[in-house]
Amino acid sequence: MRWLAAAALVLLPAAAMRAPPIPDNRIEIGVIAGTGVEGGEAIERAGVVAASMAAEDFGAAAGPVDVEIRGTPPDASGAVLLRTVRQWLSDPHVGLIVDAAGSRLDAALAGMAAAKHRLLARTAPASDPGPDLCRGTSLDWGEAPAVLAQAAARAIAASGRRRVFVIAVEDGWGAAMQADLAGALGPAQIGQAGVTEGAQDLGPAFAQAARANADVVVLAAQGPELQRAWRQAREAGASARFLLVVPGATPAEADLAGEGVAAGTLIVGGWNPEASEDARIFASRFRQRFRERRPLARDAAVFAAVYAYLEAARREHTLESGPILSALRAHARVTILGPVTIRGSGVAARDVPLFRVKPPGERRDPAESLSPRGSVPAAEAYAAICGGR
């Protein structure tokens, strides 16, 4: 399935070209879209919607030329994803593959793209980048578990609390977060409890934290699992006893948990659509385009990654990965995620924001659910990613 969006390139004289030009002045971008249900709302096409919006905005700013957004089939297996991406990369117009779903095939996908002198951008990493994803031949626009763990450890230390208990859902992301938190927190982590996906009773885990005299509980969960954990935390009276810390959540996820359920939680990372005028405009347009669902951090990352790629392709007038990577690394850029610097490893580093979830009584507007609490500098948060380079 394909989505066509208008975008633009500024053509350079042939003598100025340092790499093969963009074929037919057309760019195609493949998006590995997430599938499943989150809070009762389908999310399978969100990445395609965000990428199409980036192409449209780029076209409005620079003039008309076609940028085509392709999406993977719904509920595609790993074998189907690999076959689909291989087919995409056989087309000379395809310059960028965006993993908006947190696929565990990223190392293989990055290798396939690099072999064709094309790029992979991860926008929803389910794991920390290994050596194959730190070579500087792909891009990492998402907040990996190690980034959020480092930021959470620094935020907890700044709170003055010293006894941390981690409750993690035993899926791929939760397991990675649990391991990274253990390294980042060190002696501050006094215990942990793993819970299975779909667990209906987290009471024993909160009871363990109470018996350990914890003053902080970290909920390492996402989507429906996080919403369930928030509700059960309120039922267990956890928010009155502990500081609840959640890495990587968004206002949409906090609101889906139910009004007041997440109140007082410290959110580490994620994305606040109220952070800037551009972010607010993106969030409003996204809701209009995508069944009134509020955008998540991964949706904002897709938009930022695609827009930055198109700018670099225009500047270099090529789809070759080498010149585009050089252009992306050349200077920091302001995005709807905030200021971003592309490091040599391909990591899109940015300060990690901290937010407190407002109680209902403090909200002048239902959409303003988060109160900023500063940020953790990128130099600290990304220290454990790709050797800090």
Q: Residue 36: pLDDT above 50?
A: no
Which residue, 320, 321, 343, 346, is CA-closest to 332? Answer: 343
Report helix, strand or coil for 256.
helix
DSSP codes joined into one string, 121-162 = EESS-SS---GGGSSSSSEE-S--HHHHHHHHHHHHHHHT--
* Residue that is written with structure tokens 């093969």 in the block: 20
The pLDDT value given to residue 264: 85
**pLDDT confidence of 45, banded at 50, 70, 90?**
confident
The pLDDT value given to residue 16: 42
Q: Residue 1: pLDDT above 50?
A: no
Per-residue model confidence as pLDDT tens digits over 304-346 = 999 999 999 988 999 999 999 999 999 888 899 999 999 999 9
Q: Residue 9: pLDDT above 60?
A: no
Output the six-digit token pair for 14. Answer: 């042939």
The pLDDT value given to residue 51: 95
Report helix, strand or coil for 147.
helix
The pLDDT value given to residue 64: 58
The kind and range of the H/E element at 314 are: helix 297-316
* Share of residues in the chain with pLDDT > 70 (%): 89
* Residue that is written with structure tokens 């990223």 in the block: 106
The pLDDT value given to residue 13: 43
The pLDDT value given to residue 232: 85
The pLDDT value given to residue 229: 86
DSSP codes joined into one string, 6-44 = EE------GGG-SSPPPGGG-EEEEEE---SEETTEE-T
**pLDDT confidence of 367, banded at 50, 70, 90?**
low
The pLDDT value given to residue 39: 38
The kind and range of the H/E element at 272 are: none
Q: Which domains does the chain have, with CATH numbers?
A: 2-142+274-349 (3.40.50.2300), 145-273+351-388 (3.40.50.2300)
Supply the mean pLDDT for the chain.
85
CB-CB contact of 185 with 212 (8 Å): no
Lowest mean pLDDT among 77-86, 226-235, 300-309: 226-235
Per-residue model confidence as pLDDT tens digits over 194-212 = 888 777 788 889 999 999 9
The kind and range of the H/E element at 353 are: strand 352-357
Output the six-digit token pair for 353. Answer: 């924001």
Which residue, 239, 222, 227, is CA-closest to 177? Answer: 222
Q: What are phi and psi of 327, to 5 degrees?
A: -65, -40
Output the six-digit token pair for 163. Answer: 């006894």
What is the rounded CA–CA span in Å between residue 51 and residue 61?
16
Per-residue model confidence as pLDDT tens digits over 236-273 = 888 788 999 999 887 777 777 766 778 888 999 988 88
The pLDDT value given to residue 14: 41
Lowest mean pLDDT among 43-47, 116-120, 366-370, 382-386: 366-370
**pLDDT confidence of 366, banded at 50, 70, 90?**
low
Report helix, strand or coil for 6.
strand
The pLDDT value given to residue 163: 95
Query: Angle 24-26-32 (CA atoms, 0-180°, nearest 5)?
Result: 140
Task: Supply the pTM of this predicted model.
Answer: 0.87
Per-residue model confidence as pLDDT tens digits over 277-298 = 999 999 999 989 887 778 888 8
